[in-house]
Amino acid sequence: MENSVVDVVIGMQYGDEGKGKIANQMAASGEYDYVFRFNGGGNAGHTIYLNGEKIVTHLVPCGILHGIPSVIGNGCVINTQKLFDELEYLEGFGFDTTLLKIAENAHIITQEHIDEDSKDTTIGTTRTGNGPCYKDKVGRTGLRAKDVPELAPYLVDMYSLIHSSPKKFLAEGAQGYWLDIDFGDYPYVTSSNTGVGAVLNNGFNYKQVRNVIGVIKCYSTYVGAKGYQKYDERFEQLREIGQEYGATTGRPRQIDWLNIQEVITACQMNGVTKLIINKMDVLRQIDSAWNLYEDQMILTCKDENSFMNRIANYLDQCAQASQKQSGTVRMVGDKISINTRL
């Protein structure tokens, strides 16, 4: 029996890598039968420009923008009022929101969760109620989508959807790998798993994962309470040119140079087959900005080609150490695409 397959888009840093843009471009290809979100909730913020319009989504997968059935998976948590507000917002652009599906066992954020989350003063959460909702899920006291009558028209069983007939899925991740609840800089993490393993928790088996597309920026950003940004006047330039403000909270993102070891580790942990590097056009506008961390030291590359080749060489070395093959580097507009297999 032929199986369904899934291509996964994951951020390899601390979120805000441009996953939404990449997932949107892949969805527009027409290759996929379904697009689905596999983790997080309204704390995500994916900004997409489509036909000259800026569109920001927090819960709804990008497939809706291309007439593709789109699923909020059981790994997500849902604020129903925010969801209906977002559907109305998308309908205002003319999108068919009846294409939305929701896993019947996804959990629901309540006002009590939001109130609890709003008391945070140490982690720097988005205060959307995600963490308390996941806590009740684990504590087996939560409310699920199938318990909410208003959601009945949208409900699906993930096993039946995935395994009843062969389909091609695009999995759209939220947050970044270094915010993962298990592998991030705990406790300054999100409340869900953000890596490829979280896709399997939505009903797929590991043999169905076809490609893992890792997404990074050519520098690094972070939103939260921990001290991340060091002083460098170029970071203020990067923030303004790159518009580094949170899509969900509006908070300015802390900025630092690209940490290549973090990227390599995230690629290896997730079995990345292609790495996309965004915001190349931003660094081109800053003097002497082709920098990255190498063994905790800042390495300054003389130009864009040296920077790009340095990253590709790191990927190639790691691939050789794993007795696998890395691949070609390709310029694609404002980003770089590197084929790899770690």
Q: How confident is the model at residue 47 (pLDDT cuts 50, 70, 90)?
A: confident
Cα distances (angstroms) measured from residue 219 to each of 97, 123, 216, 278: 35, 23, 8, 9
Statement: residue 338 has pLDDT above 80? no
Global pTM value: 0.91
The position carrying tokens 């939505």 is 202
Statement: residue 249 has pLDDT above 90? no
| Beta strand residue intervals within the chain, DSSP E | 5-11, 34-37, 46-50, 53-57, 70-72, 77-78, 100-103, 107-108, 155-156, 168-176, 209-217, 219-222, 254-259, 274-278, 291-294, 297-300, 329-332, 335-339
Q: Does domain 217-339 have CATH number 3.90.170.10?
A: yes
How many CB atoms within 10 Å of residue 189? 21
User: How confident is the prediction for the chain on average, in pLDDT?
Assistant: 90
Could you tell me the strand order of the sheet in which 291-294 lies?
219-222, 254-259, 291-294, 297-300
Per-domain boundaries in the chain: 5-215, 217-339
Statement: residue 320 has pLDDT above 70? no
| Token pair for 96 | 């068919």
Of 178 and 51, which is predicted with more confidence? 178
At residue 35, the 3 state secondary structure works out as strand
Nearest residue to 41 via CA among 110, 122, 116: 110
Q: How confident is the model at residue 321 (pLDDT cuts 50, 70, 90)?
A: low
Name the strand (E) or helix (H) holding 116: helix 111-117
| Token pair for 308 | 């790009």
Active site residues: 16, 46
Which residues, at least 6 apart from 115, have a Cβ–Cβ distance to it below 8 Å? none
Q: What is the pLDDT of residue 325?
A: 46
| Token pair for 340 | 């790899």
Q: How confident is the model at residue 287 (pLDDT cuts 50, 70, 90)?
A: confident
Fold agreement between 5-215 and 217-339 = no
What mean pLDDT comes out for the span 41-54?
84
Asked whether the beta carbons of 63 and 69 are under 8 A apart, the reply is yes
Nearest residue to 25 via CA among 243, 333, 342: 333
Please give the CATH superfamily to which domain 5-215 belongs: Adenylosuccinate Synthetase, subunit A, domain 1 (3.40.440.10)
What mean pLDDT comes out for the span 118-131?
85
Q: What is the pLDDT of residue 315?
A: 82
Q: What is the pLDDT of residue 335?
A: 58
At residue 199, the 3 state secondary structure works out as helix
Statement: residue 328 has pLDDT above 60? no
Q: What is the pLDDT of residue 329?
A: 46
Cα distances (angstroms) measured from residue 20 to each of 45, 115, 127, 166, 171: 8, 28, 21, 25, 11
